[in-house]
Amino acid sequence: MIRDKITTELFDLCVIGAGPLGIITALEYARLNQQKKVILIEYGNKNTTGKNSLDESIQIPNLQNHHTTYEATNKGFGGTSATWGGRCVNYDEVDFIDRPIIKNGCTWDISFFDEAKPYLQKTAEYFECGNASFNLNEIAEFSSSSIAEGFKESDVTDAVIERWSMPTRFGKRYLDEITENQNIFLLEGYEVRQFSNPDSSGKVSSVVVRNIDNNESLSINALNFVIAAGTQETTRILLKNEHLFQNLGFAPKALGKYYQGHISGKIASVKFYGNPKKTDYGFLKDANGVYLRRRFQFSTKFLVENNLLNTAIWLDNPLYFDPKHKNGAMSFMYVAMITPILGKKLAPPAIAQSVTKGKVVGLPQHFFNIIKDLPQSLFTPASIFYRRYLLKRKLPGIFLYSPQNRYALHFHAEQVPDETNKMTLANDKETLIIDYQLTDGDVTSIIETHKKLDAYLREINCGELEYWFKPEELPEAIKQMSKDGIHQSGTTRIASSPEEGVVDKNLLLFGTSNVYIGSCSVLPTSSQANPTFFGGALAVRLANHL
């Protein structure tokens, strides 16, 4: 029945992959074009639990700095939003400006940012993260507050914010709307395999899909295609379909290269000099009840003049696993996270890893902390548990007050788009190999940015940084601690020509006239921002363009 229904239809749009970006593209297009037919094809189905053939055929040599494939993505309707954290952050002006540190890797320009801005509010609605305003100076109730007593904004700002989604699980949230829409046909449990050759005008007419349970193949015809299979799988589909570039006479050399995530970790604490009660260490809530959080960021001029990577640095707790923090509530939460079965229920593996660092250490001291701080060591986690797991809009994280006015600093920085960080196909033409390392530029920029922040806080007499490592130990410490693979971008980047990139500014694949890429893989630079919100804005824009 499915075969008859879909193989005889000419769809107006075929969207490949039902993660957040595929769902937004399909829904937005269907809302805008009520007579047009859309097919949304998703690899996963309800049997896709445990192992799957896509994740099984990926090799990642450097698991020190890159999560395993099962930790990095999810398969099934809703894609990786099944386990994502929900942090929504916008790109910044500097992400569209070339700088020597990013080695001419900025293949878009500020006009692209300006063109994306009208779609941000609609994007915020899909992500359920309130108004698309990312600066506290624009939000009346917070415009006169600051991160700590004595802080003044200048080259360093504390007003740029992250917003938090519910976190919206796109599968659960949009399933009814998709299945009830007469014009969207959802095909689950099919892997997109092979596109037909483009004709002389670049038009591609069909794609072959494979049923993941019985291997049956079907051919689907459409007027336009959007590949929204997440960065790694979108890249793999293109690497397996290089004939899509036959009209160019070559496959773009950027395809699969310049793979980026974020450099992330902690090398220092901040000690503020003022009243600890005036430090804004936790979440703010806007008028709609959406959680917001401030962070230190740096002005465009400052980053350009100092040739630094775009970096956000936020206040954090001391390391959970180290009982020296002497905090009973933290020890209790650490013990809960390392407890088999319970730990897995509390957080997805990549997030649990970022809290526990995969270490089981100091248990007697942790139990001592718990007993010493009773009953608070139980009340605080109980209240957090209620807000984080039982309410509809979940508490996005846990940040605890420091009476000493001392907070760990967590950095989250753009990565150098480096051609050796790449995704390639193995000789079997199926296996995807993901090469990922930190470059020297990544590491030196983190160290330099901390120095600048320290100097600035001292200059305005607001506070100072206290390093956790000796200066000579810092590069190796950063290389050891930073682990990504969950924020994937860069491998099919936007550029003005196929010599530099893979898609044009409308996300149209070079060499074709009707195949588009709806994935964070098109982002040439990785910003300090987690990629999904801005990727979502590109999906809304793409649906409008189509």
Ligand X SMILES: Cc1cc2nc3c(=O)[nH]c(=O)nc-3n(C[C@H](O)[C@H](O)[C@H](O)COP(=O)(O)OP(=O)(O)OC[C@H]3O[C@@H](n4cnc5c(N)ncnc54)[C@H](O)[C@@H]3O)c2cc1C
β-bridge partners, 163: 88, 292
> Both tokens of residue 173?
């949230």
Among 12, 19, 251, 411, contact with ligand X (rule: CB under 6 A): 19
Centroid of chain to Cα 178: 24
- Contacts (CB under 6 A) with ligand X, residues 51-110: 54, 72-73, 75-76, 79-81, 83-87
Of 16, 40, 184, 495, the one binding ligand X (CB under 6 A) is 16
Three-state DSSP class for 151? coil
Q: Does 532 bind ligand X (CB under 6 A)?
A: yes
Candidate ranges 197-205, 216-224, 280-288, 531-539; the one touching ligand X (CB under 6 A): 531-539
The CB-of-203 to ligand X minimum distance in angstroms stands at 21
The dihedral sign for the CA sequence 394, 174, 219, 44: positive
Contacts of ligand X in 164-203 (CB under 6 A): 191-192
Our finding on whether 486 is near ligand X (CB under 6 A) is yes
Distance CA 343, CA 335 (A): 9
Q: Is 507 in the site for ligand X (CB under 6 A)?
A: no
**Least distance in Å: CB of 337 to ligand X?**
14
Binding to ligand X by residue 397, rule CB under 6 A?
no
Cβ proximity to ligand X, 159 vs 187, nearer residue: 187
In the bound state with ligand X, the residue whose beta carbon lies nearer, of 77 and 302, is 77
Minimum distance between the CB of residue 153 and ligand X, rounded to whole angstroms? 25
Contact region for ligand X (CB under 6 A) — 17-25, 153-161, 282-290, 411-419? 17-25
User: What does the angle CA 238 – CA 244 – CA 250 come to, to the nearest 5 degrees?
Assistant: 95
What is the DSSP track for 395-437?
A: --------TT-EEEEEEEE-----TTSEEEE-TTSS-EEEE--
**Residue of the chain from 28, 30, 44, 479 that contacts ligand X (CB under 6 A):** 44
Identify the residue among 356, 402, 519, 527 touching ligand X (CB under 6 A): 519
The nearer residue to ligand X, 86 or 265, going by C-beta atoms, is: 86
| Least distance CB 385 / ligand X (angstroms) | 19
Strands 432-435 and 58-59, sheet pairing = parallel
Phi and psi based region of residue 326 (left: phi greater than 0; alpha: psi -120 to 50; beta: remaining): left
Name the minimum Å distance from CB 301 to ligand X.
Answer: 26
Specify whether the CB–CB gap between 61 and 485 falls below 8 A.
no
Contact 99, 414 (CB under 8 A): no
- Within 215-254, the residues that bind ligand X by CB under 6 A are 228-230, 233, 237
**3-class SS of residue 518:** coil
Q: What gap in Å lies between CA 257 and CA 234, rounded to an integer?
A: 13
Residue 264 touching ligand X (CB under 6 A): no
CB nearer to ligand X: pick between 88 and 408: 88
Report, in Å, the least distance between residue 487 CB and ligand X.
5
* Residue 259 contacts ligand X per CB under 6 A: no
Residue with smallest beta-carbon separation from ligand X? 19
Query: What are the helix (H) ranges across 272-375?
Result: 300-305, 328-338, 342-346, 349-356, 363-372
Q: How far is CA 132 from CA 20, 74, 117, 120, in A?
A: 17, 27, 9, 6
Q: How far is the CB of 443 from ligand X (least distance, A)?
A: 23
Question: Does 17 help bind ligand X (rule: CB under 6 A)?
Answer: yes
Distance CA 480, CA 473 (A): 11
> How many residues of this chain bind ligand X (CB under 6 A)?
43
Of 42, 128, 158, 414, which one interacts with ligand X (CB under 6 A)?
42
In this structure, are residues 364 and 318 in contact, taking their beta carbons and an 8 Å threshold?
no
For residue 517, give the 3-state DSSP assignment.
strand
**Shortest CA distance to 105 belongs to which of 412, 413, 414, 416?**
416
Write out the residues near ligand X by the rule CB under 6 A. Answer: 16-22, 41-44, 54, 72-73, 75-76, 79-81, 83-87, 191-192, 228-230, 233, 237, 348, 350-351, 486-487, 519-520, 530-533, 535
